[in-house]
Structure 1
Amino acid sequence: MTTDNTGTIRVGIGGWTYAPWRGPFYPGDVTQKRELEYASRALTSIEINGTYYGSQKPETFAKWRDETPDDFVFALKAPRFATNRRVLAEAGESIERFFASGVMELRHKLGPVNWQFMATKKFDADDFERFLRLLPKSHEGRTLRHALEVRHESFCTPDFVALARDHGAAVVVAGDTAFPQIADITAPFVYARLMGTREGEDLGYPAKELDAWAARARTWAAGGIPEDLKTCGASPTKAERRDVFAYVISGHKVANPAAAMALIERLG
């Protein structure tokens, strides 16, 4: 989903193994071993959640790479051992272990890394800046893209927005949730997590809301800034284009693949 004048828009879900998706999403003849193969052809990206809880083997990342189409991209949840700590500046060893664990076996299919923080984690400017300095710009010759999923209201401040922008890290846009929305553009890409699917909607969202998210994604990709999302800092200058990563997460989870596919259809 891209043109000469826009970045690439990728839409997906979190993970691909979820028993209630069998039937509504996975046909009966798709075995569990083939779920990633199927999902990666219905969607354009997937956020891997397992890396948040523990490390994976290099051969596992290589297997995931080989099972998916050549233009497919994975986002990775960074390990909680790096983010769920009192002093973020002490996360250096955890960050180094993560990037040495085999994630680079994804090669060109490695997308952004989502550094998710607990909802109780408050903004400490000095400590957070020291943490951002620990995030590598590249590894094994590949440029890395970092996204920051902060979930405490104290982060909704121009100081945090400026700090993220200085380090080229995207602030994750929280969509349709009680978490604070910080839709400021701070990186050459946008990372959005849509968490508002609900029971009673076949596509997870009403058509009007799907249309709205598709329009926001197009605006981001064209270098613009949607006017209907909450920002907390100074606006950046308009960009020429941006890549966009949008994941339908949580909410009424059984409907998330349908919502993601409906967005892909709208984006053409």
Structure 2
Amino acid sequence: MGRVRIGTSGWTYPEWRGVFYPPGLAQRRELEHLADRLATVELNASFYALQRPANYPSWARRTPPGFCFSVKGWRAVTHEHRLVGVRDALAAFFASGVLDLGDKLGPVLWQLPPSVRFDADVLARFCALLPPTTTAAAELAASRAVAPGTATSPGTVEERPLRHAVEVRHRSHENPELAEVLRAHGVALVTADTGGRWPLLQEQTADFAYVRLHGSPELYVSGYDDAALEDWAARVQGWAAGGRDVFVYFDNTMAGRAPFDALTLAQRLGR
């Protein structure tokens, strides 16, 4: 059986305060509150901007042993450069402190914008650039240190496998060649439930599964009822039974449903 981790996409939301977070809980304690109840969280701030190097070890220190952060890749790679000519941007991303999560670093998520169409050659070249280990990521980081921090020294990083997942949003990716490209590089294809707005692809291309539940039918808002959660529990159990680790993140954050849906799914799976 693979290991199943269930969490939320981010943790800093006003809608959660006084509902999931107890009234009066200091905002600086919200991560600890979530990490005491769920096994993982998707770190989103890293998508919008390179983080200060001190942020990553701080997040790691504030969570219990065994907790895991998936880290959303910088949008300069996916949205500005659109996967082309991104070696320097990748180096800057890994130089910003990501590796300082240590053994709490989970997969890196690369979310493509809806305007990026499937191009097998572009995707293959991008996947070939993704570092397969933490030491390879540190070496890439050391090749170009940029603000806001300096590159991580390869000598300070314990070597571990580094997992990557790609989420696609253009219908042109509903192409069998997509799975072939990702499988050749050991990159996971994200299964994303978006209420039909973007493709729902369930083919597994790596030794782990990565699931993002954005809300259905209303994106980022709708909660999941018992029947829907039972359906997702069955899929997760199937992937885990096949030996894959499974990471599931609820992104229906805007009405405060995400943490409760995550807890319910975890309970259904005995986690």
TM-score bin (small chain): 0.7 to 0.9
- What residue is the counterpart of 2:182 in the other structure? 164
Following TM superposition, by how much is the alpha carbon of 1:142 offset from its aligned partner in structure 2, in angstroms?
2.4
Following TM superposition, by how much is the alpha carbon of 1:53 offset from its aligned partner in structure 2, in angstroms?
0.6
Given candidates 135, 142, 145, the residue that maps to 2:130 is 135
Given candidates 173, 178, 186, the residue that maps to 1:155 is 173
Structure 2 CA distance for aligned equivalents of residues 21 and 251 of structure 1: 8
Q: Which amino acid aligns with 2:123?
A: F
Residue 256 of structure 2: SS of its match in structure 1? helix
- What residue is the counterpart of 1:63 in the other structure? 58
Residue 58 of structure 1: SS of its match in structure 2? coil
Q: Which amino acid aligns with 1:215?
A: A
Is contact 1:40–1:69 with CA below 8 Å preserved after alignment? yes
Number of residue pairs matched by the alignment: 243
Q: Which amino acid aligns with 2:180?
A: A
Provide TM-score, normalisation by structure 1.
Answer: 0.87
Is contact 2:192–2:199 with CA below 8 Å preserved after alignment? yes
Following TM superposition, where does structure 1 have runs of at least 4 consecutive aligned residues deviating by more than 2 angstroms?
85-89, 250-253
Q: Which amino acid aligns with 2:261?
A: A
Structure 2 CA distance for aligned equivalents of residues 74 and 84 of structure 1: 22
Following TM superposition, by how much is the alpha carbon of 1:198 offset from its aligned partner in structure 2, in angstroms?
6.7
Following TM superposition, by how much is the alpha carbon of 1:139 offset from its aligned partner in structure 2, in angstroms?
2.3
Given candidates 159, 164, 168, the residue that maps to 1:146 is 164
Residue 143 of structure 1: SS of its match in structure 2? coil
- What residue is the counterpart of 1:11 in the other structure? 6
Following TM superposition, by how much is the alpha carbon of 1:87 offset from its aligned partner in structure 2, in angstroms?
5.4
Given candidates 245, 248, 252, the residue that maps to 2:247 is 245
Q: Which amino acid aligns with 2:179?
A: V
Following TM superposition, by how much is the alpha carbon of 1:242 offset from its aligned partner in structure 2, in angstroms?
0.7
Following TM superposition, by how much is the alpha carbon of 1:85 offset from its aligned partner in structure 2, in angstroms?
3.8
Structure 1 CA distance for aligned equivalents of residues 210 and 82 of structure 2: 25
Structure 2: stretches of 5+ with no match in the other structure: 136-158
Residue 113 of structure 2: SS of its match in structure 1? coil
Given candidates 250, 256, 261, the residue that maps to 1:254 is 256
1:183-206 deviations in whole A, cap 9, x for unaligned?
Answer: 11100000000112578xxx9221
1:95 is aligned to 2:90: yes
RMSD: 1.6
Provide TM-score, normalisation by structure 2.
Answer: 0.86
